[in-house]
Amino acid sequence: MNTGENEQALRKIMDLTRLGSILVLGLHFYYECYRFFVFLAWQTTLTDRILTNLVHTGLFRQFAYAKALALVLLIISLLGVKAKKQEKLKTKTAVSYLLVGLLLFWCSGALFQWELNDSTLTIGYLAVTSVGFLLILTGGVYLSRIIRTHLNDKDIFNRENETFPQEERLLENEYSINLPAEYYLRGKKRKSWINIINPFRGVLVMGTPGSGKSYFFIEHVIRQHIRKGFAMLVYDFKFDDLSRIAYNTWLHNQGAYENPSKCYFIDFERIIHRCNPLEPASMNDITDAAEAARTILLGLNREWIKKQGDFFVESPINFLTAIIWYLRKYNDGEFCTLPHVIELMQVDYDRLFTILRTEKEIEALINPFVSAYLNDVMEQLEGQIAAAKISMARLVSPQLYYVMSGNDFTLDINNPEEPKIVCLGNNPQKQQVYGAVLSLYVSRLIKTVNKKGKLKCSMVFDEFPTIYLNNIDSLIATARSNLVATTLGIQDFSQLKKDYGKDQADVIMNITGNVVSGQVNGETAKHLSERFGKIMQDRTSLSINRTDTSISKSKQLDTAVPPSRISSLSSGEFVGMIADEPRLRIELKSFHANILQPILHKDQKEFAISSASAVGKQADDAAIRSVYLQLKQEVEGLVDSEVERIITDPVLSINLIKK
């Protein structure tokens, strides 16, 4: 520790050294301009004797020796200068003084080459050399006043200090999603890889509109998983953006599957394929019917999601469950389709309750409705049933009836013998109606694929909140062992909370192992910032007062990616955290990088889904209308034949209701 006495002694030594520099320079002047000083009578016997002795030392043997010694002593004296720091003083200013001073100091000797009289030569040489000496002294003092600690005034948002090392290795396996990226580390751009080596732990992709979550990420998932032989479900909110990518990738990679694979599309406006989501073979017991009923009604009435358990929410669900299961049991499910369910619900109560009472498995479900009808509690009955009838009536459409009554393919997409790529197309202008129907497709498909011994499967949901899946958290939690990878795309956590309720949204947010986010704001940005954790960052503080300058440096843990940074991400710039697995542990799980879009093969022709090369002839209006009328006639025929059978059978006639 330095004491005041030591500092004072050091200052005296520096002053003495500087004085020695001036003395040597003065002797140099006296020797080189001796004739002028003699002319001024500034010469004595003593000075001549001293000068003679100095000459014998060799100090004046060469013209530059004494000047060099004076300069060295001056530099030594400047090394110990402790001047008051000036925040605005720049190195460029100090260096300029030094360079000009050195130039004048050394080049002043050129005056001796000119033809000048002694007076002019001496005065000129002394003036130029002295000015150079003073400029060197001034520049050295300025250098000591400059704050040598690097305060990066250009990085006002602390971007450089918030950078951290990221995974630069390509870690690939048969299931992985690998995204090339680049990131900044201490001001340098570096190449990296975002390696989602275990997509079965769930992938949550977030980003406001235009952040690039579909273009930079979801398209990667579709292409890479199809190339690796995954069966796939693609929920395409803006059909056919993602479906076209899935279809063309499948066309060029059909060899990735051991058995012949097929690609199917469900779209209610440009009909290509038909599929019955209530296929009898996939409905093994009444709980399947109950789940289907809950999915379709909650999809049509999103406000019911937060009111599950209420009387006027559960009653319509029970009523619809009874209708579905009755048609599943009737004639081995011959008419078990959603259009038949909708039409059967519209039958008058006398005939409807009469035929439903013949099925013992749904007796407990329909008894409250029958009792209310027989006891003329019509207000309650209409409140219970009308909600279901009104909701389901929104699905009455020839196109919907046509698509949901066909059997072009089954929903077991990960069947090893017949792997499938299935694309479900929605329309943003009709998302509430189409979304409810597509929710039923997805719900039934999840039940089918989440089984052991199946092919690896990838389920990709763009704009996930536009459909309702009551058991999506269960799928992410339990399907990992069955090789089912789930990718959910949302715009913001608040959107998910609005459509699914806070509890369900929290579960989905916290249960996913891999999180990728573009620009998001508010609560979502805060949640992600906490999830990414903290890193060690440098801190520098500068304190200047009238007598001293204090600079302190420290390191402290601070947020790796603050909420403000997440709120200002550019399109294609993502932050996130990936999950590893026991066989391949990843130390650097967090990332903040720009995802690089790969260069696609331009030589591969891209086919449109509507072309003849896709899947064949599209349905015409006449065929659609014909199926629509046929379904209505089939329900009428079913009701008439069943009522007639009940009337003629003495055992069943006790179920007859007539008011």
Structure confidence at residue 162 as a pLDDT band (50, 70, 90): confident
- Cβ proximity of 654 and 370 under 8 Å: no
Q: What are the Cα distances from residue 574, in Å, to 208, 216, 350, 571?
A: 12, 9, 60, 8
pLDDT of residue 86: 65
51-71 pLDDT tens trace? 777 777 777 777 777 888 888
The mean pLDDT of 471-499, rounded to a whole number, is: 89
Q: What is the pTM of this model?
A: 0.77
Residue 415's pLDDT band (cuts 50, 70, 90): very high
| Residues 403/268, Cβ–Cβ less than 8 Å | yes
Asked whether the predicted pLDDT for residue 220 surpasses 70, the reply is yes
Instruction: With a cut of 60, say whether residue 619 has pLDDT above it.
Output: yes
User: How many whole angstroms separate alpha carbon 229 and alpha carbon 413?
Assistant: 12
Is residue 444 within 8 Å of 292, Cβ to Cβ? Answer: yes
Percentage of the chain beyond pLDDT 90 is 40
The more confident residue out of 358 and 78 is 358
State the Cα–Cα distance between residues 656 and 651, nearest whole angstrom. 11
pLDDT of residue 384: 79
First to last CA, the chain: 106
- Pairing mode, if any, of strands 457-461 and 177-185? unpaired
pLDDT at 5 over 70: no
**Range with lowest mean pLDDT among 140-149, 483-492, 640-649:** 140-149
pLDDT at 614: 46
**Model pLDDT for residues 576-590, shown as the tens digit of each residue:** 999 988 888 899 999
pLDDT of residue 426: 92
pLDDT average, residue stretch 316-331: 93
Average pLDDT of the residues in 602-627 = 65
Q: Confidence band (pLDDT; 50, 70, 90) for 416?
A: very high
Both structure tokens of 394? 């929104």
Q: Are 53 and 102 in contact (CB under 8 A)?
A: no
Place of tokens 């409905």: 283
Per-residue pLDDT at 549? 66
Quote the pLDDT of residue 485.
94
Chain-centre distance for alpha carbon 89: 43
Is pLDDT above 90 for 197? Answer: yes
Strand order in the sheet with 420-425: 188-196, 177-185, 590-595, 573-577, 514-517, 203-206, 484-490, 457-461, 231-236, 420-425, 262-266
Confidence grade of residue 170 (pLDDT, cut at 50, 70, 90): very high
Q: What is the pLDDT of residue 613?
A: 40
CA neighbours closer than 13 Å in the CB half-sphere of residue 564: 5
Say if residue 180 is exposed, middle or buried (CB neighbours under 10 Å; 0-12, 13-18, 19+). Answer: middle
Overall average pLDDT of the 122-147 stretch: 81
| Per-residue pLDDT tens digits for 208-219 | 998 999 999 999
Residue type, 379: E
In whole angstroms, how far apart are CA 593 and each of 68, 140, 572?
Answer: 55, 45, 9
pLDDT at 417: 93
pLDDT value of residue 536: 78
| Domain ranges within the chain, ordered by starting residue | 4-145, 276-407+620-659
| pLDDT tens digits for range 504-544 | 889 999 999 999 999 999 899 999 998 888 877 777 776 76
Give the separation between CA 531 and CA 157, rounded to whole angstroms.
Answer: 21
Residue-level pLDDT at 595: 93
3-state secondary structure 102-113: HHHHHHHHHHHH
For residue 416, count CB atoms less than 10 angstroms from its CB and return exposed for 0-12, middle for 13-18, buried for 19 or more.
Answer: middle
Torsion of CA 30, 36, 37, 38, to 10 degrees: 120
| pLDDT exceeds cutoff 70 at 618 | no
Q: What is the pLDDT of residues 176-188, one digit of tens each?
A: 999 999 999 888 8
In this prediction, residue 610 carries a pLDDT of 57
- Mean confidence (pLDDT) of the chain: 85
More confident residue, 79 or 155: 79
Mark residue 617 as left, alpha or beta (left: phi above 0; alpha: psi -120 to 50; beta: remaining).
beta
Token pair, residue 269, equals 């406006």
- Assign 658 a pLDDT band (cuts: 50, 70, 90): confident
Query: How much is the pLDDT for 1?
Result: 43
Mean pLDDT value across residues 339-368: 91
Backbone dihedral angles phi then psi of residue 19, each to the nearest 5 degrees: -65, -40
User: Whose structure tokens read 């022709």?
Assistant: 605
Asked if residue 342 lies in contact with residue 635, where contact means CB atoms within 8 angstroms, the answer is no
> Which one-letter amino acid corresponds to residue 535?
I
Query: pLDDT category, 85, cuts 50, 70, 90?
Result: low
pLDDT over 70, % of the chain = 91
Higher model confidence: residue 227 or residue 55?
Answer: 227
pLDDT at res. 612: 37
CB 495 within 8 A of CB 211: no
pLDDT per residue as tens digits for the range 236-268: 998 888 999 999 999 999 999 999 999 999 999
Q: Could you read off the pLDDT of 426-464 as tens digits, one per residue?
A: 988 888 889 899 999 999 999 889 888 899 999 999 999
